[in-house]
Amino acid sequence: MNETTEKYPANFIRTIIEKDVQAGKHSGRVVTRFPPEPNGYLHIGHAKAICLNFGMARDFGGSTNLRFDDTNPLKENAEFMESMQTDITWLGFEWRELRNASDYFEQLFNFAVQLINKDRAYVDSQTAEQIRVNRGSLTQPGTDSPFRDRTINENLELFQRMRDGDFADGEHVLRLKIDMTSPNINMRDPTIYRIRHVIHHQTGDAWCIYPMYDYTHCISDSLEGVTHSLCDLGFEDHRPLYDWVLNELAMNAHPQQIEFSRLNLQYTVMSKRKLKQLVEENLVDGWDDPRLPTLAGLRRRGYTPEAIRDFCRRIGVTKSDNNVELAMLQSCLREDLEGKAPRAMAVLNPVRVTIENYPKGQVERLSVDNHPKDESMGQREVPFARDIYIDRADFREEANRKYKRLVLGGEVRLRNAYVIRADRIVRDPQGEIIEIVCTYDPETLGRNPESRKIRGVIHWVSAEHALPALFNLYEPLFTVDFPDMSVQDYRELLNPNSRVVAEGFVEASLGNAQSDVQYQFEREGYFCIDNKHDGGDQLVFNRSVELRDTWSKIEGREEAQR
């Protein structure tokens, strides 16, 4: 993945920016910003916005600021700021400057005074309930507040006293004086300041009035020289307000707000409220639970920044509602990992195999490629001995020709080793197979027999040398593709099998598995070390994604036919 391929494919925002640059608008500069509210963890939907903002600026030689939209101290905290910086950096982006909306509180206050002086803002002393009622409805115009005609001086004095802490929470608010009959509800004298006697994580007790989003955002953008202010469709109705404020203030930089649709991904939820609820109600194991669509969760699951960036590129940017299939995300991960994940063998659901004609006590140190197509990844040593484990799913007492694995009386290739034949099975008193007794063909190491065709290859580990391991096998967190659309509460749709722990073995070389390396356990999927789950003496791996599996499709089809 290089700079060229990382470029965003054509989309309507790129078209707008291209035209602006050509026309010399904003002197041909491109400045964007990513403005999260620090009230949760960043998720894959944010990644879409991050890639867009940073990507567009990069493609046009511009820059991007990270700005925390910290205007509501009730919901925000510094810990979330930390995690967001970690996640953005991990994703691979660098901001030019880190700002907080709270850096502008003093300026914002002064701008508000300006608006009061222009008779474009007033202190309203109605209750929240009265304001709500007087706002009207979608089809009914609103009515003017009885306080709408206060004199400029009275407003000035009241606003100053609000700042000075003379009033309790909710006693007054500052509102813009626009038009209570506007068909656009956002223009019906929106509130821009409210009283909150709370400590702010950045400004401490310096303020007891806090500006609101609509007022703060456009001014912050302008102050930072942002040229293109990209946000989601939810703010389309707010654009007239964004422009109104900047025009009334006669700001010399007037960014263009452009809206795009947010990402909807199958089998998950994306709203911060719901993610927060899942975490706080312990329905998952924290913000970095590998089943969550948070960047922290995806990272722990084994997703790479490259895969996520590629995903954001592939899903595109439009204004239409989208419902992206999970397969798209998984495909991006597989594509990234295929070329760079070292291979290894792991048996998730072991059954013992004894190779009767292999000398007891003998151990062969087989030299095995770490990647089938990339010699530069080198080789490793894999011990082979008389007792090994294979996966239960790789053996059947009887099967038709389509089954290409080990069948009683049949042969199969042990990956990177010999061809074996299953001679008989040993069962426990309950009837379960506990051992498969085989014989091996010593002539088949590194070459195929000439007389017959070996159709299958299965993986294995040496029983004596293998390391016990736990495998977190994940399924989607929800049982339905779009939990948000269900009439049921999304918490009732949690998939009980979203995390299943398998107990098995990994080959000895994984004893020094790196925690930041994704491995492909051949025929099983891509895995990475999970250093948060406690496995005691055992290694713990997370399955990031399975390998593409055409066999299970064929098998499923046959099952269905029966």
List residues with catalytic annotation: 37, 262, 272
Please report the sign of the dihedral spanned by the C-alpha atoms of residue 208, residue 214, residue 217, residue 218.
negative
51: left (phi over 0), alpha (psi -120 to 50) or beta: alpha
The binding track of 84-123 with respect to RNA, each residue x by CB under 7 A or -, is: ----------------------------------------
**152 in contact with RNA (CB under 7 A):** no
Binding residue for RNA (CB under 7 A) from 276, 415, 491, 533?
415
With residue 256 as reference, give the H or E element that holds it. strand 256-260
Closest CA to 56 of 313, 269, 341: 313
- Which residues face 528 on adjacent strands? 542
Q: How buried is residue 295: exposed, middle or buried, by Cβ count under 10 Å (0-12/13-18/19+)?
A: buried
Q: CA-based Rg of the chain, rounded to a whole angstrom?
A: 31
Q: Which residues of 240-275 are buried (b: 16+ CB within 10 A; e: fewer)?
A: ebbebbbebbebeebbbbbbbbbbbbbbbbbebeeb
Residue 80 or 289: the one with the smaller Cβ distance to RNA is 80
The binding track of 365-384 with respect to RNA, each residue x by CB under 7 A or -, is: ------xxx-----------
Residue 289 or 521: the one with the smaller Cβ distance to RNA is 521
**444 in contact with RNA (CB under 7 A):** yes
The binding track of 172-211 with respect to RNA, each residue x by CB under 7 A or -, is: -x---------xxxx---xx--xx--------------x-
Residue 72 or 227: the one with the smaller Cβ distance to RNA is 72
Binding piece for RNA, criterion CB under 7 A, among 115-123, 319-327, 347-355, 420-428: 319-327
CB-based contacts of 353, cutoff 8 Å, min separation 6: 387, 388, 389, 390, 420, 435, 436, 437, 438, 460
Binding residue for RNA (CB under 7 A) from 96, 120, 276, 319?
319
Residue 79 or 169: the one with the smaller Cβ distance to RNA is 169
Binding residue for RNA (CB under 7 A) from 77, 367, 448, 497?
448
- Are the C-beta atoms of residues 258 and 232 closer than 8 Å to each other? no
Binding residue for RNA (CB under 7 A) from 451, 488, 550, 561?
550
CB-based contacts of 529, cutoff 8 Å, min separation 6: 513, 514, 515, 517, 539, 540, 541, 542
**316 in contact with RNA (CB under 7 A):** yes
Binding residue for RNA (CB under 7 A) from 112, 230, 245, 315?
315
With residue 28 as reference, give the H or E element that holds it. none
- Are the C-beta atoms of residues 197 and 210 closer than 8 Å to each other? no
Q: How far is the CB of 135 from RNA (least distance, A)?
A: 4
Residue 396 or 533: the one with the smaller Cβ distance to RNA is 396
Q: How far is the CB of 366 from RNA (least distance, A)?
A: 9
**462 in contact with RNA (CB under 7 A):** no
Q: How far is the CB of 320 from RNA (least distance, A)?
A: 3
Binding residue for RNA (CB under 7 A) from 148, 161, 314, 491?
314
Total binding residues for RNA by CB under 7 A?
93
Distance of CA 136 to the CA centre of its chain: 39
**403 in contact with RNA (CB under 7 A):** yes
Residue 200 or 254: the one with the smaller Cβ distance to RNA is 200
| Mode of pairing for the β-strands spanning 387-391 and 350-355 | antiparallel
Binding residue for RNA (CB under 7 A) from 77, 107, 110, 127?
127
* DSSP-derived secondary structure for 375-426: GGG-EEEEEE-SEEEEEGGGEESS--TT--SEEBT-EEEETTS-EEEEEEEE
Residue 443 or 531: the one with the smaller Cβ distance to RNA is 443
Residue 316 or 504: the one with the smaller Cβ distance to RNA is 316
Binding residue for RNA (CB under 7 A) from 85, 86, 114, 126?
126
Q: How far is the CB of 75 from RNA (least distance, A)?
A: 6
Residues 262-281 that bind RNA (CB under 7 A): none
Residues 488-527 that bind RNA (CB under 7 A): 520, 522-523
Please report the sign of the dihedral spanned by the C-alpha atoms of residue 152, residue 157, residue 160, residue 166.
negative
User: What is the four-CA torsion angle of 433, 437, 442, 444, rounded to 10 degrees?
Assistant: -30
Closest CA to 218 of 12, 27, 24, 33: 33
Q: How far is the CB of 532 from RNA (least distance, A)?
A: 27
Q: How far is the CB of 453 from RNA (least distance, A)?
A: 9
Residue 63 or 257: the one with the smaller Cβ distance to RNA is 257
Q: How far is the CB of 430 from RNA (least distance, A)?
A: 26
Closest CA to 500 of 524, 479, 469, 472: 472
495: left (phi over 0), alpha (psi -120 to 50) or beta: beta
DSSP-derived 3-state class of residue 320:
coil
Please tell me the distance from the alpha carbon of residue 79 to that of residue 366, in angstroms, as a whole number: 49
Phi/psi at 338 (nearest 5 deg)? Answer: -50, -45
Residues 30-89 that bind RNA (CB under 7 A): 35, 37, 69, 71-72, 75
**324 in contact with RNA (CB under 7 A):** yes
Binding residue for RNA (CB under 7 A) from 96, 404, 421, 491?
404
Binding residue for RNA (CB under 7 A) from 285, 335, 435, 441?
335
Q: How far is the CB of 113 from RNA (least distance, A)?
A: 19
